[in-house]
Structures are given as C-alpha cells and as structure tokens.
Amino acid sequence: MVVKYINCLLNDGTTTRIDIDFYPIFKNYNWYCNNRGYIVTNDTSVITRRSIVLLHHLVLNFKYDGNIDLVADHKYGDKKDNRLKNTKNS
C-alpha cells in the first residue's frame, strides 16, 4: 500500500511532511517549529491537557485513536517528517 504525503509550509517558513489523509486535521491549527526542532501548536482548541501539542503525537492519536499522552518519537530521527511511517511509540 502506498501512502501519499504532502509537504506543508508553516507560518514560520519551516516545512513539514505529513500523510495526505491527515491534512484535514492539520490545516485547522497554526503550526511552527520549536527551539528543539519539533513541529508544535499551542492552539487551545486542541483537546488535550497540554499547552503545547507536538504534531507527531497528534498524528499517532489520529491514526490509532489512542491516548494523547503518548511517549512517541520519530523512527528515522527527522523531526520534520511527521508521516505515520516515521512515528513510533516508545
């Protein structure tokens, strides 16, 4: 199965890669690259107990409908690649 993806330009000029089926969720928030290199939002409309939401956590929750309190990371170390195949539960 081939999963299609898109590169998205963020407000701060950073680009991130996401699965195309995640775009309808992604587009509703203002994303930026934080000082640790992760793509994040501090949009208060995201349903979570955290003030900052990491994109790769939201991607895993979206796909697996699990708990937002994930211990997650990027399989290949590229923090700007937020496709499902590059995210993992640790």
Q: What is the pLDDT of residues 15-30, one digit of tens each?
A: 999 999 889 989 988 9
Q: Does residue 64 register a pLDDT over 50? A: no
**Total structural domains in the chain?**
1
User: Cα separations (Å) of 9 from 27, 47, 61, 72, 82?
Assistant: 11, 23, 22, 23, 13
Q: Give the residue with greater pLDDT, 43 vs 32.
A: 32
* 8 Å CB contact between 8 and 24: no
Q: What percent of the chain has pLDDT over 70?
A: 77
Q: What is the pLDDT of residue 52?
A: 79
What are the structure tokens assigned to 79, written together? Answer: 């923090």
**pTM, 2 dp:** 0.78
- Residue 85: what residue type? K
User: Cα separations (Å) of 43 from 28, 40, 82?
Assistant: 9, 9, 18
Domain hosting 34: range is: 5-89
Q: Does residue 51 register a pLDDT over 90? A: no
Q: Give the residue with greater pLDDT, 12 vs 67.
A: 12
